A and B are shown apart, each in its own frame.
Chain A
Amino acid sequence: MSIQNPGRRKVIQQLSAVTLAAGGGMGWAGRAFAADPVQLISHRYPALEFWAGKMKTAIPGVEVNTQLMPFDKMGELVTIAMSSKAPTFDIVYVIDSSIVSYAKNGWLRPLDDLWAKYKKEFNLDDLSPTAMKMCTYNGKIYALPGTINVMMLYYRKDVLDGAGKAVPKTAAEYRALAKQLNTPARAGTISCLKPTDATLNEAHWYMNTIGQGWFDDKWNPIFNNERGVRAIESLKEVTQSAQRGFASAANDECTIALQQDAAAMGLQWATRARSVDDPKQSRVVGKFEWAAMPDGHARVLADGYAISAFSKQDPDLLFRIIATATQEANMREASGMLVPPRRSLLQDPDLRAKNRFYAAAGQAIETATPFPPLPEFYAVGEFISRRILQGVTGEMPVKQALDTAAAETTAYLKDRGYYK
């Protein structure tokens, strides 16, 4: 027996509308007779705030109402609205993992026709193939990238020079160096293991350098095989040299540890590079250098904007808003806040000189590995990240923790129609 529940949909639609009205719809009251504003929902960090601002002024006369919030919260609201096919949001912030998930559910509008129409006007061929690959699902384009973000090695050149150490070239060297640089006052490395996203980001590098990845080609978990166990054992060892509070630290806490001279090196997103050179926030201006992670395989993602399949707005208008906001001139203006997904900008000598981290970011992108294109990866990541942490903090042996996560993952994916 199955239910097709119009009542449920209706309730969820109404809830979404109420949430939206409470969260950002204040502007509606005074413009009862104007055209409906375009609704944007997005995660929030400086580059995304910049894009949201540009969208507001992208097309004269078109009002764009922006709602920016933490990633998890945004994911919840998008899921509630989209699962009920509500036209609550028109433009949705997406990353590679959410693109596969939302596109699989039919929540996003394919953009191939609009892409072809506006390719020349917005010089869309300049967008890097790496970014475009991550904005594509089953051969169709679903998003326009605003940033290509990659995790890379941050290291204190002065500390390494003082200790007579070179930049690590392998995962084993990284582990050894973290231990050597560790002191009570300054951790050898940062570690960001707050579940779910941060844990997956960091474990991804270990799982792809020491381990053999997360899944085989039939989506069977392989993260609990011998090399996977070794990978998490290695992560556990590195956390012995990490800053206190690492198990509840996400990107913000780790960035602060770097800025406040509380750690000598670590794995962190390229979009955070500028902040360690910002004298208003950092005690170590000019002391950090960057490199691709030893042995490569750090996480890379494209984040950008997609159009809701349930939007009542003109898709052509929505596409032009996104494309205008993320056009080359604006991307150049925002270059210090992000790694531009346009090849011309990433190779631009002026920008490379202005943004010291570009060279390392470029190398990191070449050797990086995205998350597995499994639409349910974030869902199963809930089990995986918590079990990894149980292994790392010693609540459970690593092997047992990973086996438990693998069993939970398999059961979940089986329930969702895999392995038939």
Chain B
Amino acid sequence: MQLTTAGQDAVTPALRKSAARRARRAQHRRLWPFLLPSALVAFFILLYPLGYAFYLSLFNYYLDTGASTFVGFANYADLFTDTRFWAALTRTIGIVVAAVGLEFCVGLTVAYGLYRLTFGVRALNLLMFLPHIITPVVAALFLKWIFAGRWGLLDSLFATFGFFAPDWLGDPAWARVTVVLADAWQFTPFMILVLFAGLNTVDPSQIEAAQIDGASGRQILFRIMLPSIAPIIAFVLTMRMMDAFRYFDTIYVLTGGGPGTATETVTMQTYALAFRLFQIGKASALGVVTLLIVLAFASIIVATVGRRKGRT
């Protein structure tokens, strides 16, 4: 059978497309083995423990005696009717919003200041990054000696001027403020570094054009620079939010979740369930719930900032 020239003209692009698809697939098949090690690592380090945690969450399992009974979703039901869980969740959200919000505002201000600075940027950047490179537990010990009552650094400073500072770690309200400040002290440098790097990626021609059009510094920042780095803001907020939701070591050292339950976050409660009450099933359920909550918040942040980027 012979094809007409017109028929050949119609069929050839389709054949070409199909051949190109086949070639791409063949290439992908060749690339798959390269992904296998990463996939295996992801499976064993991420997915297997996650699946195992979910499996354990279906049992009333006590770590100390090893006694274990299948209870289905009863651990989840128990958690959702536990006032301590809701209090811890509300508190965690409060601490996360306050800490990450503070870090973002201070971080952006300092990053913008560094961006405008013409000298000493490197040295300042390095100095400001110091709190972030200290191991969290060690940093928490430093902070403990700063906030300790009576002989702590802050109290001593205040006492020099004849004031008695508030009970930073012993008063429930101040303890919450203190753990937020502690987190901000440690993680604002990370925020500064990422936002400063982001600001430096903004196309200078856009800024110059805006300046020629008579835009003020504030307008340039809010109308040009921030929208330009929206994906970076989404990234840094998501990272910090996920981190702050797992906020544990500093609180553990500073207040132990107290006074009472004043600074008890969901991770502190998970720790208490697992290692003080030995209720591994319930602790696993709380871990799974925490993961879902963090996932939901991260999705909201990415979607919101992404949409804003789309509008601009």
Contacts and interface: CB of A to CB of B under 8 A. Distances in A.
A105 B278 CA distance: 13
A3 B259 CA distance: 38
Interface in A54-86: 72, 75-76, 79-80, 83
Interface string B135-171: 0000000000000111110010000000010011111
A245 B235 CA distance: 38
Contacts of B257: 195, 386
A262 B175 contact: no
B228 interface: no
Contacts of A79: 63-64, 275, 278
A248 B155 CA distance: 15
A412 B67 CA distance: 14
Interface string B270-312: 0010011110000000000000000000000000000000000
Given A83-B63, A393-B260, A248 B170 contact: yes
B60 interface: yes
A262 B149 CA distance: 10
Contacts of B260: 247, 386-387, 389-393, 395-396
B59 A3 contact: yes
Contacts of A396: 260
A248 B169 contact: yes
Contact of B169 (A195, A245, A392, A412): A245
Nearest to A80: B63
A196 B276 contact: yes
B198 interface: no
A245 B164 CA distance: 12
B276 A379 contact: yes
B255 A248 contact: yes
Contacts of B264: 386
A330 B254 CA distance: 37
A389 B258 contact: yes
Nearest to A250: B256
B169 A5 contact: no
B258 A195 contact: yes
B150 A248 contact: no
A184 interface: yes
Given A2-B69, A79-B63, A245 B276 contact: no
A193 interface: yes
Interface residues of A, number: 46
Interface residues of B, number: 42
Contacts of A393: 170-172, 259-260, 262
B277 A248 contact: no
B150 A257 contact: yes
A56 B262 CA distance: 43
Interface string B46-82: 0000000000100111111111111000000000000
A382 B277 contact: yes
A1 interface: yes
A390 B262 CA distance: 8
Contact of B258 (A72, A101, A244, A248): A248
B64 A245 contact: no
B62 A416 contact: yes
B259 A247 contact: yes
Interface in A148-180: none
Nearest to A393: B259
A379 B277 contact: yes
A243 B272 CA distance: 27
Interface in B102-128: none
Interface string A367-407: 00000000000110010001101111111100000000000
A389 to B, nearest CB: 4
B66 A83 contact: yes
A17 B67 CA distance: 23
B158 to A, nearest CB: 11
Contacts of A389: 258-261
B150 A245 contact: yes
A378 B258 contact: no
Interface string B24-50: 000000000000000000000000000
A386 B258 contact: yes
Nearest to A75: B275
Contacts of A344: none
Contacts of A47: none
A415 interface: yes
A195 B260 CA distance: 8
A415 to B, nearest CB: 7
Interface in A190-214: 193-196
A1 B258 contact: no
B172 A1 contact: no
A246 interface: yes
A247 B258 contact: yes
A262 B150 contact: yes
A260 interface: yes
A378 B64 CA distance: 12
Given A257-B150, A262-B151, A393-B172, A195 B70 contact: no
Given A378-B276, A415-B60, A395 B262 contact: yes
A194 B258 contact: yes
A412 B276 CA distance: 12
Given A194-B258, A244-B149, 17 more contacts: A1-B70, A184-B164, A244-B164, A245-B150, A247-B169, A248-B259, A249-B170, A257-B150, A262-B150, A262-B151, A379-B276, A382-B276, A389-B258, A390-B259, A393-B170, A396-B260, A416-B62
27 contacts: A2-B70, A3-B70, A83-B63, A193-B258, A193-B259, A195-B258, A196-B276, A245-B149, A245-B167, A246-B170, A247-B175, A248-B255, A248-B256, A248-B258, A260-B150, A379-B278, A382-B272, A386-B257, A390-B260, A392-B259, A392-B260, A393-B172, A393-B260, A395-B172, A395-B261, A415-B60, A416-B62
Which are the 3 A-B pairs with shortest beta-carbon distances?
Answer: A245-B149, A244-B149, A247-B259
